A and B are shown apart, each in its own frame.
Chain A
Amino acid sequence: MALTGLEIFKLLPKTNCKKCGKPTCLAFAMALAQKRAKLEECPDVSDEAKEKLSAASAPPMRKVIFGTGDHQVQVGQETVCFRHEEKFHNPAVLGVTVSDKLDAEAMKKRIESINSLQFERIGIKIGVRTITIVNDSGSPELFAKAAEAVKEGSDLAIILVTDLPDAMAAAVTKVKDRIPLIGCATPKNAEAMAKIAAENKCPLIAKAESIEALSELTEKISGSGVEDIVLTIDGESVKDKLYNYSRIRVLSLKKGFRPLGYPTISFVTGSDDDQVALGVSCICKYSGIVIVDTIEPYALLPMLTAVMNIFTDPQKPVQVEPKIYSIGEPDENSPVMFTTNFSLTYYTVESDVEASRIPSYILVVDTEGTSVLTAYSGDKLNEKTVADAMKKYGIESMVKHRKLIIPGYVAVMSGKLEEATNWEIMVGPRECSMLPKYLKEVWN
């Protein structure tokens, strides 16, 4: 956690020698606290002070990376509890389990199904990003074999889960070049597990039944040289787990409590439907990694969409590319309407135009990702931006008619727009949900 100016001052030489360019040590301390100065600018600061200050400036939640190449994933390093305060930085990673009890054929099929859980939304690829091998068999050989099969069959980042150090040692050697996340270290096996993690340079999951036990456990693990840790709470009700993940978030970010300053992982079980509900709760409330058993696309798609939405930057709206979109198979007699490039606006309009079943062109004007009225009042949507977009994307050559339907909320721009384009302006409904009815009435 960041130190205050006074706390930093206590660690400085207090000689006021001015070599740092500041009149006093206190002034330098204040500048440091506000990140207007760098510690190196004081030549006389002690090693002890350096260590304390650099520890204090480390992020309150550690970043943990596993997997390799394009399939590397990164979790943690979150800075806020509520997305509107700043943003959530590293989208929750969704993963699916593979049991080492499956026979070769079933395992191959399951791995393939997991690989195929990839989707596209609003022009962005989203999908399952990790595959979790679970040592249900208790056998080191089977666990190692499963690890090999997954390595063979999937490029996704790998997580290895067993409480048995022997099994872990056997499996990790097969996949260590893929930098798996391994676990779980518990209060009982921590030493052995930490040793395996250190030797193979893998991040380690720490698992305990309470956050008190968890913080003792991470102290022990980091004491043995493993710094990349992921936390999980075991053995309590779903409710207790969710409350505990929230406490961990607050203790690490608000209290700077180092032993809990790590990302978390949740293992979600139950019926396919229940996994979606719990999974989404974990995604919103502070699990960096969420592992499910289900491989149903209908279950994964909403969870992945939730990740996408919750982790968008609240300061920077999601946008669609400004251009002409064809809905259905429009021809030279089809209606033309415009909207803005704010994803929310565009997709709302798109689904209503689709619902009308009248093939149409939607001209998307670049409004820097703002809604119709926001753009209009911010002067990003006016006769000039619309006319320019019509020209730029060549709507004139796509239709024979010269009629443009505009959103009802910006009816006031009709006159000027007619002048700027020489097209007939038709004022559409305010809510695009009325577009199907409107189109049926005016376009027949």
Chain B
Amino acid sequence: MPLPEITDSFTGSVNRITLGATKENGGTRTNTVTIGGARNVVYGGSFEDASEKPVIAMDVLDTRPRDWPDALVQAYDDVMDSPGDWAKKCVEEFGAELICIKFDGIHPDKDDKDADHAVKVTEEVLKSVGVPLILWGSRNDEKDNQVMPKVSGAAKGEKCLIGTISEINYKSLTAIAMADGHYLISEAPIDINIAKQVNILASDMGFPLERIVTFQATGALGYGIEYAYSIQERQRLAALTGDKMMAMPAICDVGYESWRAKEAKLEDAPGWGSIADRGPMWEATTAVCLLQAGVDIIRMRHPRSVAVVKNFINKVWS
């Protein structure tokens, strides 16, 4: 019996985005990173329809984190007080394709650092690594509105990915990202309609839809990943059926979420295996799982998880 043809090819596709600006393009990055472009679901259709290789952004915090589990501290202890060295280590030793500076230290409940500090960290990291950057606020709206525009300015012209903007707080960051030539991350709480709404709001301010990446809150393995998984699948399907407001590449925050999981943190858990293995594997599994649903950038933390996921991506996306 001859095989029937699979006819339902999709009409739409995920936007293709190139992050980072090299010298020719007015920046100082040594390379750019292109993401998105999928014309089918993951493993759907033929390989030509697959997205660009998903990439890993490794997290660098602007101040030394105080609540990181030992497994992570061990990997970065020597560089945690110097975001520049930290970023360098991620790129040179662990193969990070992007660096995500997470400005936790500016949060009023954490170190309450000011804009000068954030600008200095940004400049340091820009100097120490050549990969494109992601600049991620603290999620305290008031403080982010004070600090992130300055951070944006410090990286002007570098074509960074900056965020996040939300339904209730998007105006100042959208305006400055547009002026400084960056790309935006729009955030929604596992909700397609809110995600669309944020994209519409940014677009209404004149921000090009082709320069947005969406962030649907990530749930870790065992802690709500099924919602994140299905929302990413639905977003991909919306893009493929031609919904321009949902055709953005997607980013997810695997590092932060998976290292909060009990399985990654609980020292004494008989029968679960050694904590040294559990944490990295929880993070890697969360990442691989979300890759199946269709995401383009994954924020990660542990070198071993990064190695496993990169190895997987290399097998399946080339």
Chain A contact residues, CB within 8 Å of chain B: 82-84, 116, 119, 121-122, 211-212, 215-216, 219, 237-239, 242-243, 245-247, 250-251, 254-255, 257, 259, 273-274, 276-278, 280-281, 284-285, 296-299, 301-303, 305-306, 308-310, 312, 314, 344, 347-348, 351, 354-355, 433-434, 437
Number of interface residues of B (CB under 8 A): 56
Are A298 and B292 touching (Cβ within 8 A)?
no
The closest CB in chain A to the CB of B224 belongs to A344
**Given A84-B234, A297-B273, A437-B109, A215 contacting B43 (CB threshold 8 A):** no
Contact between B308 and A298, CB atoms less than 8 A apart: no
> Cβ of B124 < 8 Å from any Cβ of A?
no
| Shortest distance between the CB of A264 and any CB in chain B (Å) | 13
Contact A281 to B292, CB < 8 A, known contacts A245-B43, A273-B304: yes
Chain A min CB distance to B129 (Å): 26
The reply to whether A242 and B43 contact each other, CB–CB distance below 8 Å, is yes
Give the residues from 198 to 226 in chain B that come closer than 8 angstroms, CB to CB, to chain A: 219, 221-226
Contact of B4 among A121, A237, A257 (CB under 8 A): A257
Contact sample, A vs B, 12 pairs, CB 8 Å cutoff: A83-B230, A119-B272, A239-B315, A239-B316, A251-B3, A277-B285, A281-B316, A298-B274, A298-B278, A301-B278, A302-B263, A347-B222
- A-B contact sample (7 more), CB < 8 A, given A255-B4, A348-B224: A238-B315, A238-B316, A251-B6, A280-B285, A305-B221, A355-B265, A433-B260
Interface centre among A83, A219, A246, A273, by most B CB within 10 Å? A273
Given contacts A215-B3, A296-B273, A309-B225, contact A301 B263 (CB under 8 A): yes
B288: CB under 8 A from chain A?
yes
Q: With A121-B222, A301-B278, A437-B109 as given contacts, are A277 and B230 in contact (CB-CB < 8 Å)? A: no
Instruction: Give the distance to chain B from A397, nearest Cβ to Cβ, in Å.
Output: 29
CB distance from A120 to the nearest CB of B (A): 10
Interface SS, B side: helix
Kindly list chain B residues whose C-beta atoms are within 8 Å of the C-beta of A237.
315
Inside 8 A of B148's CB, which chain A residues have their CB?
Answer: none
Q: Closest Cβ of chain A: how far from B27's Cβ, in Å?
A: 34
Q: Chain B residues near A211 (CB, 8 Å)?
A: 3
Hey, which chain A residues are within 8 Å of B278, CB to CB? Answer: 298, 301
CB <8 Å contact, A274 and B312 = yes
| Chain B 94-146 interface residues, beta-carbon cutoff 8 Å to A | 109
Cβ A280 vs Cβ B288 within 8 A: yes
A242 to B227, CA, bound (A): 23
The answer to whether B272 touches A297, judged by C-beta atoms less than 8 angstroms apart, is yes
Which residues of the partner chain A approach B6 to less than 8 Å between Cβ atoms? 247, 250-251, 254-255
**In the assembled complex, which residues on chain A have CB atoms less than 8 Å from the CB atom of B79?**
none
Q: Taking the complex as formed, is B311 at the interface, i.e. its CB lies under 8 A from any CB of chain A?
A: yes
In the complex, are the beta carbons of A305 and B288 less than 8 A apart?
A: no
Check if A351 sits within 8 Å of B260, measured CB to CB.
yes
Residues on B with beta carbons closer than 8 Å to the beta carbon of A273: 280-281, 284, 304, 307-308
CA distance A285 to B261 in the complex (A): 24
